[in-house]
Amino acid sequence: MGVVKPMLPYGRQWIEDDDIEAVVAQLKSDWLTQGPAVAEFEKALCVATGAKFAVAVSSGTAALHLACLAAGVGPGDVGLTSDITFVASANGIRYAGGKPVLVDVDPVTALISVETLEARLRGLKPKVIIPVDFSGAVADLPRIRALADKVGAIVIEDAAHSLGATYTHEGKTFSAGGCAHAQMGILSFHPVKHVTTGEGGAITTNDPALHARLMELRTHGITKDAQRMGKNDGPWYYEQVELGLNYRLTDLQCALGISQMKKLPRFVARRRELARRYDAAFAALADRVVPLTVRAGTESSYHLYVLNLVPRKGESMASVAERRRALYMALREDNILPQVHYIPVHQQPDFIRAGFSDGSFSGAERYYAGCISLPLFPRMTDEDCDRVVDVVRRTA
């Protein structure tokens, strides 16, 4: 038996002593939930994204649900999102009672295809469009926003992968989640994401009305705002003015989030460094594998490092998928745990059953056949990276 090499997952958190101290200090304080750490964490998110407001919630999925509710999605309403994403992007529309319409991706970037989006919008009056910043590269928000404005839809940027990323438009640089070209953005703080609160998420916006609505929806639809209340019996008084949820993030989690946010620049820099190391190694294997193309004009924050197998001349998609499986198994053999992001949403049985799988998705299917996400997280060493490259070089 050889020595078992340490496990290398595709992503994982990095919790340091100061993060732990921050949570312990919070535990000893007066506030476990609904206290000052929430607003402080939200402030850090505003500083990082450039958005005016941030509303911290219990998960990225909760953020998507609330953003859809705040955008007015209700029974029968249509919302569009990418076919290559985590199912939560589409489920937010469904929780609000709406009908998701899935849009094919550009197989080279795995980002929503703006041309296909434009075609699918014909004859629709959608409430929301939810582009996904897949892998950490920002979707073409300026063009998507222009299409959305024409049909009166609200753009919710799913920035769960792209905290710390930037994109340029007309010579100016904007941050993912900053809402320069979207009415709302959503973030996730799941442990595989850039910074973590265990579970957690947030909605960003520059719109004070959306902000007020989101704050209300996060806490049962309850308000203490005199403008919103019909009467006022005294200082204890509040009113439930709509049906909201309890989607709060705790002060314990926010204390961790505040500590983690201080490290975001370092974490993103390290992710980019590792991505460049992979890129350099795979350049020599360009006839066999190719890294996912980062959309021109965006600087990815690399939530994922996706590698694609290059189809051989005349090779079928099934054969590419078989080779991807072999590469996946070879990595597993070496105690490396890659992942595949994502199974196209239109192939999920629950979406098929509910009638949400219509459309043609040749881009997504082509992309899915040959993609694999390699380990990428800030605590990875250069040697870890080289270990992954070795298996790819031997196998792909």
Ligand X SMILES: *Cc1c(COP(=O)(O)O)cnc(C)c1O
Identity of the residue, 199 or 282, whose beta carbon is nearer to ligand X in the bound complex: 199
Q: Is 22 in the site for ligand X (CB under 6 A)?
A: no
Going 279 to 281 to 286 to 288, the CA torsion angle's sign is negative
Q: Is 10 in the site for ligand X (CB under 6 A)?
A: no
| CA 83 distance to own-chain centroid | 14
Identity of the residue, 132 or 371, whose beta carbon is nearer to ligand X in the bound complex: 132
Total number of residues binding ligand X (CB under 6 A)?
A: 14
- Known active-site residue 172: no
Identity of the residue, 89 or 259, whose beta carbon is nearer to ligand X in the bound complex: 89
Backbone angles phi, psi at 334, to 5 degrees: -95, 15
Q: Is 367 in the site for ligand X (CB under 6 A)?
A: no
Is residue 267 within 8 A of residue 136, CB to CB? The reply is no
Is residue 185 within 8 A of residue 97, CB to CB? The reply is no
Nearest residue to ligand X, scored by beta-carbon proximity: 60
Min separation Cβ 130 and ligand X, Å = 9
Among 26, 49, 89, 113, binds ligand X (CB under 6 A): 89
Which bin fits 46, alpha (ψ -120 to 50), beta or left (φ > 0)? alpha
Identity of the residue, 139 or 160, whose beta carbon is nearer to ligand X in the bound complex: 160
Among 12, 190, 324, 346, binds ligand X (CB under 6 A): 190
- Which one of 34-42, 118-126, 155-163, 170-178 is the stretch in contact with ligand X (CB under 6 A)? 155-163
Backbone angles phi, psi at 43, to 5 degrees: -60, -45
Min separation Cβ 87 and ligand X, Å = 8
Q: Is 160 in the site for ligand X (CB under 6 A)?
A: yes
Q: Is 260 in the site for ligand X (CB under 6 A)?
A: no
Q: Which of 377, 293, 291 is nearest to 7 (CA)?
A: 377
Count of helix runs (H) and strand runs (E) in the chain: 13, 17
CA dist 55 to 133, 187, 327, 332, Å?
Answer: 20, 10, 41, 39
Q: Is 161 in the site for ligand X (CB under 6 A)?
A: yes
Q: Which amino acid is at 286?
A: A
Identity of the residue, 83 or 392, whose beta carbon is nearer to ligand X in the bound complex: 83
Burial of 382 (0-12, 13-18, 19+ CB in 10 A): exposed
Is residue 92 within 8 A of residue 65, CB to CB? The reply is yes
Rounded distance between C-alpha atoms, residue 348 and residue 164, angstroms: 30
Q: Per CB under 6 A, which of residues 37..56 are in contact with ligand X?
A: none
Q: Per CB under 6 A, which of residues 95..124 are in contact with ligand X?
A: none
The catalytic residue among 125, 127, 150, 193 is 193
Q: Which amino acid is at 333?
A: E
Among 59, 116, 223, 260, binds ligand X (CB under 6 A): 59
Q: What residue ranges bind ligand X (CB under 6 A)? A: 59-61, 85-86, 88-89, 132, 158, 160-161, 188, 190, 201
Residues noted as catalytic: 193
